[in-house]
Homo-oligomer: A and B are copies of this chain.
Amino acid sequence: MKIPLVAIPRLSQYARVLLESRHSDYISSDEISEIAGCTAAQVRKDLAYFGQFGTPSRGYKVEELKRSLSKILGTDREWNVALVGVGNLGSALLSYKGFAPNGFKIKCAFDNDLRKIGKNLEGVIVRDTSEMKRTLKAEGIRMAIVTVGAGSAQSVVNMLIKSGVTAILNFAPVKLNVARAITVLNIDLSIELERLAYFLSRTKKSKKS
């Protein structure tokens, strides 16, 4: 089954629509699309990758679709996540309320600042970065969030990979070099603002002309 990667965030969106839906039995692609903010045809196409979930007359069985999406997205289980870099952003993510309902738990946090090591933040003890390998191997953690500065991100990522991590969400504004088997998703917040700036510039120009 060859699913385009761009479809994955949309499937996450559909799963959210279902969780918030008050429909107990069936939901139509029209209803999903209206809340998810895309076309009904897109919804039907995305869900068709995974087999026959719906019937043309009644729509999709809510509970069945929920279970299938969970299984596809890997959210039918809990994922323990490591966080490296307990600065402002790292602290914000430790208290971010959006992870837990989706099955993600930041289980351990690392920093090399002596003033932070040993602190309890949202139930997580901040540990010395030197303990990373032992801790992650012991916990079997394979997913990590990197919130260190650009200068130390690559060395942190190298350590994470040596500790058994294969999937990384990177907030450091730097391009990381990793082997093909490792998945890195880069979140660069100024790139998002640049997308907004692009839209605003274009609007301004079109208003002028």
Contact = CB atoms under 8 A, between A and B. Distances in A.
B102 A195 contact: no
A199 B143 CA distance: 10
B183 A196 contact: yes
Given A99-B189, A175-B37, A194 B92 contact: no
A75 B197 contact: yes
Interface in A101-142: 101-104, 142
Contacts of A142: 200
Given A73-B194, A75-B194, A143-B196, A188 B98 contact: yes
A149 B98 CA distance: 10
28 contacts: A8-B198, A9-B194, A9-B195, A13-B175, A35-B175, A37-B175, A73-B198, A73-B201, A79-B193, A79-B200, A87-B92, A88-B95, A88-B96, A91-B92, A97-B149, A98-B188, A99-B193, A102-B190, A103-B197, A104-B190, A143-B193, A143-B200, A167-B196, A167-B200, A169-B192, A183-B196, A183-B200, A185-B195
Given A12-B188, A81-B193, A183-B199, 15 more contacts: A12-B190, A13-B175, A35-B175, A72-B198, A74-B197, A74-B202, A79-B193, A88-B92, A88-B95, A98-B189, A101-B190, A142-B200, A167-B196, A169-B189, A185-B192
